[in-house]
Every structure is written in C-alpha cells, then in structure tokens.
Amino acid sequence: QVQLVESGGGLVQPGGSLRLSCAASGRIRSIGLMRWYRQAPGKQRELVADITSGGSESYTDSVKGRFTISRDDAKNTMYLQMNSLKPEDTAVYYCNFRIKLLGITYENVYWGQGTQVTVSS
C-alpha cells in the first residue's frame, strides 16, 4: 500500500510565504501526474496546481505568479512554494498522486490527509 504524508502548513500573515511538501512511501515503481488541491470551509475542493512526470506545470488563475509547484522523483516528493499569500488562500491543502506500484501496469490515485494553511493578520 501507499502512504502520502504532507507537511509545511501553518499560520502566516498576508504577504508571507510557506512551503508545502508531500512525500509518498510504499512499493512504488513510478509516479505520474502530481497535483495540489485545496478546500476552504463551505466550498468545493479545487485544483491548485499540477506537474507532469516530464516537469510541465499548470496553475489555477488565482495563484499564477505566486505559487510554484515542483517535484523530486528520487525522493517521491512534491512541493508547493507559496509566496505573497492572501487571506483567500486559507484552506486545507491536499496532495494527489497517480502511482504505479511494483509489478502493476496501471496507475491508481492516492490522496494525502491534508494540511491546514491559514493566512491571517
């Protein structure tokens, strides 16, 4: 089985920065698409950013120019550098990986447990 562990969340003032990490463990052959989602109270979960196995990045319009997604395949880890944070960025952030297990030809989808990001003065 696969476990995804997130870290780096916390409380930050508007204009500040945080760096989130998500590390996968288990009998992993490869990881394809890596994604960050977030969910604010009373709202639907939304896609924030994703990065392909080839390193191509995509962002939702509200975070373009402020957030940067990256990956380190040697560590089975994804990162989200968040700069110029705004109160509307407050949410629980979830990582989502598409993973091929050893001996398995197809990808399955795995979720982290979520980490709270609060932007407030």
Identify residue 119 by its one-letter amino acid code. Answer: V
How confident is the prediction along the chain (121 residues), in pLDDT tens digits per residue?
Answer: 899 999 999 999 999 999 999 999 999 999 999 999 999 999 999 999 999 999 999 999 999 999 999 999 999 999 999 999 999 999 999 999 999 999 999 999 999 999 999 999 9
85: tokens are 């944070």
For residue 86, which of 47, 43, 40 has the smallest C-alpha distance?
40
Which tokens belong to 9? 């969340």
CB 38: neighbour CB atoms within 10 A? 22
Rounded CA separation 36/50 (Å): 6
**Residue 32, H or E segment:** strand 28-39
Q: Cα separation of 27 and 107, whole Å? A: 13
